Amino acid sequence: MKSAPPAAARRWVAWRASKRSKRGWASELAVEEPLEIRIRGKVFGVTMRTPGHDTELVAGFLLAEGLLRKRSDWISLAPCRAEGVEGVVVNAFLSAKVRLDWKTMGRGFLTSSSCGFCGSKMIENVRRRYAALVVERGVDLDLLAELPGRMAAKQTLFKKTGGVHAAALFDRQGRLLVVREDVGRHNAVDKVVGHAFLDGRIPLTDCALAVSGRVSFEIAQKALAAGISAVVAVSAPTTLAVSLAREAGLILAGFARGGAMTLYAGPRANESGGAVVNPAPAAR
C-alpha cells in the first residue's frame, strides 16, 4: 500500500490578540524539517525544507552543485529506514561515472553564502563550471512580466499558510510547466529544476523561471546550471546576481507586479543600467 505524501502544512492553535480582545485561533503553518543528503553512504549536507518532492529537491540541488550533468548520472533517491531517521535522511544513488571530490565537497555546499569567495571569484567559478548561456531567440518581455502573477494563482500552500516561497517554470508561450512551494526559496527552485531534470528536459533554454522572493547569486547560479534563459522575480535581485546575469547572458528582471517589471540584465538593460518594462500608468 502506497504511503500518504508528507504534510506540507499543519494546524496549530494560536491566540489572536488586539487591544480589545484575545481569542483562540486555528492557524495553518508551513512545515519545516531537516533533510540530510547522503551520497554513496557519506553525508553531503543538510537542508531545511518543506517535506514533499524530495527527489526533485535533491536532483535539482546536485545539478546546481555540478555533480549531475545529464539524466543518466542519476539513478535514484532512497529513504534511510533506520529507526529515528526515516523521512529525515535520504541516500542519493548516482552513476559510477559521476566523480566526487570529497575534499572540495567537505567544505560544505558550494552555494553557501559563507563560502569565503569574493564576488568576482564566485562569478568566475560559476562561469568555469557552466558555459555562457546563448539565447538563440528573443524573450517576450511583456509576457515575462506577467509570469509571477500566473504563478501566484497556483500558490495553494501560500494561500493556506502565508509562509512559503514559490518557483515556477514556464515555456516560451507562457504556459506553466511546474510550480513548487517551500519554506526555502532555494529549495523551491531546486524542486522545479529537479522536476525538469528527472523528466529529461535539461537544458531549459526555452524556459523562464519565476520566483516569489528576491533573486540572490545562488538563484541565478541555479538558473544557469539548468540552462534557463530568463529569471523574473516579484522582488529585487542582489548586485552579485545582476553581475552574474550580465556576464553569463541571463535575462534577469525584478519587481514584476501589475504587468510591469524592472529589467536588470538582458536587452535594453546591460548598457543603460536597468530598464522599466511596461511601467504602470500614473495614478489619477
Domain ranges of the chain: 141-277
Average pLDDT rounded to a whole number, residues 66-81:
91
- Residue 59's pLDDT is 97
- Domain 141-277 is found in CATH 3.40.140.10: yes
pLDDT digits (tens, 9 = 90+) for 163-196: 999 999 999 999 999 999 999 999 999 999 999 9
Instruction: Tell me the Ramachandran region of residue 253: left when phi exceeds 0, alpha when psi lies from -120 to 50, beta otherwise.
Output: beta
115 is catalytic: yes
Residue 132: which pLDDT band, with cuts at 50, 70 and 90? low
Residue 215's nearest CA partner among 252, 160, 173, 267 is 252
- Asked if residue 276 lies in contact with residue 254, where contact means CB atoms within 8 angstroms, the answer is no
Q: Residue 1 above 50 pLDDT?
A: no
Instruction: Report how many helices (DSSP H) and strands (DSSP E) the chain contains, helices first.
Output: 8, 13
pTM of the model: 0.85
